[in-house]
Structure 1
Amino acid sequence: MTRSIPSALCAFAFLGLAVSACSPTVATRGNLTDPDRLAEIKAGQSRREDVAGVLGTPTSAGTFDPNVWYYIGQKTEKVAFFRPEVVERRVVIVHFDDAGVVQEIKQLDANDGQDIEMVDRTTPTAGRELGFLEQMLGNVGRFSAKDGKNRGPGR
């Protein structure tokens, strides 16, 4: 009877480790804005300094229009060795007028995104392609006896 208690404890410990290994790893990247804090910003009232104070510095400013700020963030979950899954993605776009007053606040989520198909083309290079054996044995026979004749230790 005393022998079964330690083995039961070991089984429960192993089961606990196995279950905890399968729990997802959550990662938040970027500036995932809090909806409550975003509600504090009012179009026509809040200024650039107010937005920076409430939401922090933007992830990016507009390339062609510095009066546009972007707050980009996402939360992912990864289980074991599988690919991370996007749980939440949010982009907040804040438009300012020339005086620095908020004109418009726009929110985008993962549903507003577009899937982009990757192109599998390769860029051709000059020369010929070497096979595995050609690469491994490529230098065999390229050196003549006179190349190694004048070389000694330390030369």
Structure 2
Amino acid sequence: MIIFSGVVSDEIQSKTFKKRQQHVFRVCAINFIAIIIVGGVLWFLLNGELKRWLLASGVLIVVLLFTLWNPRKKLPFRWEYHITIDEEKIVQECPLWPKPVEKPIKKIKKVLDDEDCYYVIYGDMNNSIVCQKDLLTEGSIEEFEALFQGKIIRKKK
């Protein structure tokens, strides 16, 4: 059994927040570009008016750029987790949540090794469990890496 327990550092919290924000931006950008292209084709077929299409496209681009903007430098709460990993499942408990998040190991898509933490991803970046390496209280890094062998992607420096 592998256990990570404690408060995640401010540095990792902000790094994780930025990664998740970039993921949301990419998803929004792809969707907005598709809307602009399909909307533009339909607009020209129905109206043939360029000014209104450019205005609508500009509004969508401004909304997209606002997803990148974040005035907060620090999150308003602390990430305190107790993560238990065994051969079959990973369980994440947090005082802020009413019930623990439990995922089977076989549903884990990949594990990103980001120097001082692991991101255990079971959907996309927004659905990830953050395991800070120095919060390991039971087990070892070698056990963790053996459990997720073949799914670990190391960050390139």
The reply to whether TM is greater than 0.5 is no
Which structure carries more helix by proportion? 2
Higher-Rg member (1/2): 1
TM-score, normalised to structure 2, is: 0.21
